[in-house]
Every structure is written in C-alpha cells, then in structure tokens.
Amino acid sequence: MGAIEALKKGFGVATGSMPLVIVLFVFGLIWNVLNIFLAPETPEGATVQQSVFLVAGGIIFILLTIFVQGGSMAYIRDKIKKGAAEFSVFTQSGTRYYLRLLAIGLVIGLVVGIFVLLASLTFALLQQTAAAAGIAVAVVFGLIGLAVVILMFLAPYIVVTEEAKAIDSIKRSVTFVKKQLWPVLGMFGLLIVMGFAFGLVVGLVYALIGLAVPEGRVSQIIFSILSGFVNSFLGVIVTASFLAYYLANSGSRSAANSFNS
C-alpha cells in the first residue's frame, strides 16, 4: 500500500466512524469550554487558584488523552482489519494499553525536552559572541530532535497492533520508519496540507459567523465547536491512515492477521 492509498483508506475509515469522531469531539469540547470560562482575560489577571486549577486540569486532560488514544487506535484497528468495531473495545483497550502508551509518551517527551534544552542553552551561550552560529546550531538540534520524534512516531500504533512492549515498539518504529522514510514523510506532508485546507474553511466559516455574533465567550464557544469537530475528524483520518499503512507494509504476522483481544 502506498501513501495515497493509505490516506484514502484513512478518509474512508473516518467517514465510517462518526460515533468515534463524536466521542473525540465531545471529549475535546469539554476541555475547551472549561478553559473559556475558567481562564483569566489576561495572564496577568490570573489568580493563584486559577493557575493551579488550569495546570492540574491540563495534567488530568493529558492523562485522559492517553486513555482516549489507546481506545481510538484499537477501535480504528478493528475497523480496518474487520470492517467493523464495537465500542466495548474502546474502553477495554484504553485501559489495556494505558501504561505502555504513557511510557512511550514519557520517552518522546524526554527526547523533545533534551533537544529543546540543548538548543536553548546553545543559543543562550552564543548569542553574545556568535549569534548567527548559535542560531544555526540551535536549528540543527531542533531538526535532530524532530527527526528522532518522527522515527518514534509509530510506536503507539505498534503497541496496539502487535501487543508489543513500550521499548520494543519504539525500536520497531525506528526500524520501520527508516525503511519507509519517504512515504511516511509524504503522508505527513499531505496530512499537513489537508489540515491547512480544513483550517482555512473553518476560519472562513467562523469569520462569516463573526459578522453576526459579537466577540466574547459565545464566539469562542462557536469556534471551539467548529474547530473541535474538524480536529476530531482529522485526528481519525491521521490515525487510520498511519495504521493502514503500517498494517499493509510492516510484513509482520501479528499486524497482518486479525487481533484477538
């Protein structure tokens, strides 16, 4: 399967998985609306209680997102491999893969943090004596960090499709992406273009609505609804596209055969 075929498959899975899209939409919308009503008008106007609540809420949201990620991937996996999926697999798999997905997230976060720190330190140390060199080295560190993240990108997919452990999934992801680098990068590029196009449409619709609705919380909620649904739909397309591509091209028996949960 090529990149274009995988994207077509992803779009087909997304249009056939509207219950999942709605669940993801509601999940994201709840957090967005809470932010709208609880966030201060300006950062300077935030109270200690508001800051603590937003930070704690953000951490809880991230932890819940891992559960949703595992459930979504398993649902889409079954949709691709069996042609249908039950929502029971969503809740079961969200729990089943939680710790492995959390471990992968921590590893990727650590890698990103290291390269961001290296880039920041390099720029800070050289900005007074060799600013241009500092910027160049910082950019190099940033690009290396991005490359490493791309190599590990499929690790969560491998956890869900092959029951692999976290570290093993990261190793398999690196091996697979190296072999399929250009198609994977092509899929990233096409998905970015697709996201940009959807974003333009949402922005246009929001601008038209803005002519009738004054600025404020109402307009913010409308934008959250519009962008939230589009992001949820795109999220399913992305997951389904990469899952379909991996299942078709990994050559692994566990990826190719039906999964018994």
| DSSP letters for the chain | --HHHHHHHHHHHHHT-HHHHHHHHHHHHHHHHHHHHHS-SSGGG--HHHHHHHHHHHHHHHHHHHHHHHHHHHHHHHHHHHS---THHHHHHHHHTHHHHHHHHHHHHHHHHHHHHHHHHHHHHHTTT-HHHHHHHHHHHHHHHHHHHHHHTTHHHHHHHH---HHHHHHHHHHHHHHTHHHHHHHHHHHHHHHHHHHHHHHHHHHHHHTTS-TTHHHHHHHHHHHHHHHHHHHHHHHHHHHHHHHHHS--HHHHSPP--
Query: What band does 118 get if pLDDT is binned at 50, 70 and 90?
Result: confident
Task: Answer yes or no: is pLDDT of 109 > 60.
Answer: yes
Q: What is the mean pLDDT of the chain?
A: 86
Q: What is the pLDDT of residue 92?
A: 92
Domains of the chain, by residue range, sit at 3-256
pLDDT tens digits along 172-207 = 999 999 999 999 999 999 999 998 998 888 888 878
Q: What is the pLDDT of residue 261?
A: 38
Task: Answer yes or no: is pLDDT of 222 > 90.
Answer: no
Q: What is the pLDDT of residue 258?
A: 44
pLDDT tens digits along 12-34 = 999 999 999 999 999 988 888 88
Q: What is the pLDDT of residue 40?
A: 60
When comparing pLDDT for 42 and 130, which is higher? 130
Q: What is the pLDDT of residue 209?
A: 77
Query: What band does 53 get if pLDDT is binned at 50, 70 and 90?
Result: confident
Q: What is the pLDDT of residue 224?
A: 85
Task: Answer yes or no: is pLDDT of 43 > 70.
Answer: no
